[in-house]
Structures are given as C-alpha cells and as structure tokens.
C-alpha cells in the first residue's frame, strides 16, 4: 500500500517488543514514527508533534490509553487526530467506551502488518475527506463572502452614482466590481479543481512541459504585465509523467504567487533537475523576493494559510490544491527559502517508465 507523502504517526506503547514491531512496520511503509511509553508521554508528544494519527495501547502506567483519549478530545488542537487503539483483550464494553471517547478503530493483539496498515490507510483517507469538507465550508463561509460583499456594494454604489452622472466614480466602481468578480471566479475555479482531483481518475502520460509552461504563462499574461514581473524559462525540459491540465494549474499557481509576493518587478526563474537517480524530475519556480521564515514555510500547502500576512488579499486554497494534485500524480511538493534570500517552490513528478 503506497502513501504519497510522509505522515507522522505517534505510537504510545509500554511493551518494548510491540513498540519495536509497530515502529518497523510503519517505517517500512514510509511513515515518520514518534514513540512514547505511556499516556502522559504520549499526550506531550502529541502536543509537540501534531501527528497525523496516533496508535495507543490501553493498559499503561501513569495514564491509560482511554485517559489519553479523553485528554486528546479536550484539547482543541488535538481532538481531530484519529486514534487507533491496540490492546491484548478488547471486551465489548471497553470497545464501546473507547468509541464514545473518540477512538477511530480497535485492533487486537497479536496483529498482522496488513491489518495495521489497512486500518491506518482508512483513517488517513477519512481524515483527508473531513479536511476537504472543512476547506469547502471555510471557503463558502469566508473567502466567497468577502468578494461577494464587495461586488454587491460596488453595484449598489454604481446604481446611486449613475443618477448623478459622475463618470470618474462610475469607472472606479466598475473597476472594483470587476476585480471582485474575478476573485470570485478564481475561488470557484479552484474549488472545482480541488473537487476534480478528489473525484477524477487520470492516467499519467508523458508531459510536453514546453507547451504546459507556455499555457500557464498565457493564463497569467495580464497579471504579469500589471505586476511588472519577468519570467525566464528553461529552453527544454526532462520528460516526466502526469496529467497536463493539472500540471498546468501547478505552474500557474507557483508563477502567480512568485509575481504576487516577490516584490515589484519580480524576476522569476523556471527550471528543473533530474532527481533520485533518474526516477523523478524536480520542477521549480524561484524568485529573489523577501523569502520566508521557517514558521511561514511550515504553514504552506495547508488550506487557508497565506504566504504573507502583510499581503492577505488572496486566499490560501491554491497551494493546498497544488499539494493534492502532485501527490495524486505520485510526486511531492516543497519549498527552499530563507528570509532575505528569495524562495524556490518545487514539485517532483515521476519520470516516464522506459
């Protein structure tokens, strides 16, 4: 079973042999593993690491697995983390009690590798679906409301201005209304892309990256002109596998963000390099802007976090979509940056099988 990105899993278990067995299984499948030997240590590790999933035993010294579940559900930052309970003997009453406390699944010792991995995969998939539902709800409740209110307000103002025939005010109102309408259209387009990535099955094919990059630049032509940004692109590209419409969206997002956040008249470079002994190609968009702090980098590729707090006129859905697209195509995303040293946003895709 393949997992597209490295998730962090916290294992809370006081039996050394079981802890070692679980750690070996999880690391074999590409997970980053954090361990704790009792519930209290586990709770502190959860607060520190914010894992994607927690696996816990029930009977442990200091704080039991059920007490750990109670503590997790009381903590706003931790309550949504799925928890799998592993126990030597799980009676019906204990199972019911654990489910009432929020346990996502129960596995009985001794367990098989397949049993553990299938349970994890199901919980992570459900968590991802719930995260997407939250993302959609957040967009409808917040990101769509602001430009819609601006659009309605400008149209009402235009209606009043029309009566006094003030051409300057009318032109200004039309410009504001048009900007709000374009922002609404962009958000709706990105929601449709996000829904399509989840729903649509695509077959990866060799990508004509020259044509894809040209299409992304064409989509941004007006914006690049207004921002004064210049784009320097590689003349040729290594051949990678993917789905052209989705990869075009990735380039459009990366280039647009560079033009938006790298400062006036930004200089944007596009390039690539073959990675992992020829198994993947890393494509990148680099700028010479103000760069990003480690804290800002940690918030990237997460729904509704903005690249720059001082330029919060956009919404944070775009990089989340980029991550989902690339992971569904079997790749990964990332950024290299430092304050004052610009930023290089990259995505990797598999090379074409020979």
Cβ within 8 Å of residue 74, ≥6 positions away: none
What are φ and ψ of residue 7, in 5° steps?
-95, 150
Query: In the prediction, which pLDDT does 327 show?
Result: 86
Whether pLDDT at 314 is above 50 = no
Report which DSSP code applies to 240: B
Q: Which of 157-161, 322-326, 338-342 has the lowest mean pLDDT?
A: 157-161
pLDDT, tens digit (0-9, with 9 covering 90-100), for 72-114? 999 988 888 999 998 876 667 777 888 888 888 888 888 899 9
Q: Which of 31-45, 72-86, 116-130, 149-163 has the lowest mean pLDDT?
A: 149-163
Query: In the prediction, which pLDDT does 62 show?
Result: 85
What are the helix and strand counts (H, E) for the chain? 12, 12
Enter the tokens of residue 220: 């941004």
Q: Which is nearest to 136 in space by CA: 322, 298, 321, 308?
A: 321
- Give CA angle at 179 (347, 254), nearest 5°: 10
Query: In the prediction, which pLDDT does 134 show?
Result: 67
For 125-154, what is the mean pLDDT?
A: 70
Which residue intervals of the chain are DSSP H helices?
Answer: 16-28, 39-49, 65-74, 92-101, 113-138, 145-164, 167-199, 209-219, 221-227, 244-261, 294-298, 318-328
Q: What is the dihedral of CA 118, 122, 124, 129, to 10 degrees?
A: 160
Instruction: Report the distance separating Cα 262 and Cα 231, nearest Å.
Output: 12
For 240-258, what is the mean pLDDT?
A: 92
Query: In the prediction, which pLDDT does 255 show?
Result: 94
More confident of the two residues 57 and 317: 57
Instruction: Report the distance separating Cα 63 and Cα 12, nearest Å.
Output: 11
Instruction: Report the distance separating Cα 309 and Cα 144, nearest Å.
Output: 19
| Domain segments of the chain as ranges | 8-126, 144-199, 205-350
What is the dotted CATH code of the domain comprising 8-126? 3.40.50.2300
Whether pLDDT at 170 is above 80 = no
The bridge status of strand 83-87 relative to strand 53-56 is parallel
CATH of 205-350, one of 3.40.718.10, 3.40.50.12780, 3.30.565.10, 3.40.720.10: 3.30.565.10
Collapsing DSSP states into helix, strand and coil, what is residue 217? helix
Average per-residue pLDDT for the chain: 83
């Amino acid at each position: 079973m393949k997992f597209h990105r490295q998730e962090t899993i916290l294992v809370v278990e006081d039996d050394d042999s079981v802890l070692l067995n679980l750690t070996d299984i999880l690391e074999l499948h590409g997970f980053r593993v954090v361990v704790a030997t009792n519930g209290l240590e586990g709770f502190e590790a959860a607060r520190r690491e914010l894992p994607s999933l927690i696996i816990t035993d029930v009977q442990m010294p200091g704080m039991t697995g059920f007490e750990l579940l109670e503590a997790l559900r009381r903590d706003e930052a931790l309550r949504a983390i799925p928890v799998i309970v592993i126990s030597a003997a799980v009676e019906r009453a204990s199972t019911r009690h654990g489910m009432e406390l929020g346990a996502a699944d129960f596995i009985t010792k001794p367990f098989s590798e397949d049993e553990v991995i299938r349970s994890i995969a199901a919980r992570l998939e459900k968590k991802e679906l719930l995260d997407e539902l939250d993302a959609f709800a957040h967009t409808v409740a917040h990101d769509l409301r602001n430009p819609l209110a601006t659009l309605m307000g400008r149209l009402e103002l235009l209606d009043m201005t029309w009566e006094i025939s003030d051409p300057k005010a009318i032109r200004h109102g039309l410009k504001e209304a048009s900007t709000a309408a374009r922002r609404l259209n962009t958000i709706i387009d990105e929601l449709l892309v996000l829904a399509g990535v989840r729903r649509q099955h695509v077959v990866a094919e060799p990508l004509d990256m020259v044509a894809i990059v040209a299409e992304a630049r064409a989509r941004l032509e007006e914006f690049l002109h207004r921002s004064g940004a210049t784009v320097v692109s590689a003349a040729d590209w290594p051949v990678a596998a993917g789905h052209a419409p989705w990869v075009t969206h990735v380039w459009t997002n990366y280039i647009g963000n560079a033009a938006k956040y790298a400062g006036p008249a930004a200089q944007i470079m596009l390039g690539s390099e073959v990675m992992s002994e020829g198994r993947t190609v890393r494509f990148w968009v680099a700028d010479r802007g103000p760069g990003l702090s480690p804290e800002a980098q940690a918030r990237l590729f997460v729904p509704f976090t903005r690249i720059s707090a001082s330029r919060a006129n956009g919404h944070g859905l775009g990089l989340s979509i980029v991550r989902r697209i690339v992971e569904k195509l079997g790749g990964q995303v990332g950024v290299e940056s430092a304050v004052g040293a610009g930023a290089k946003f990259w995505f990797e895709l598999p090379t074409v099988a020979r």
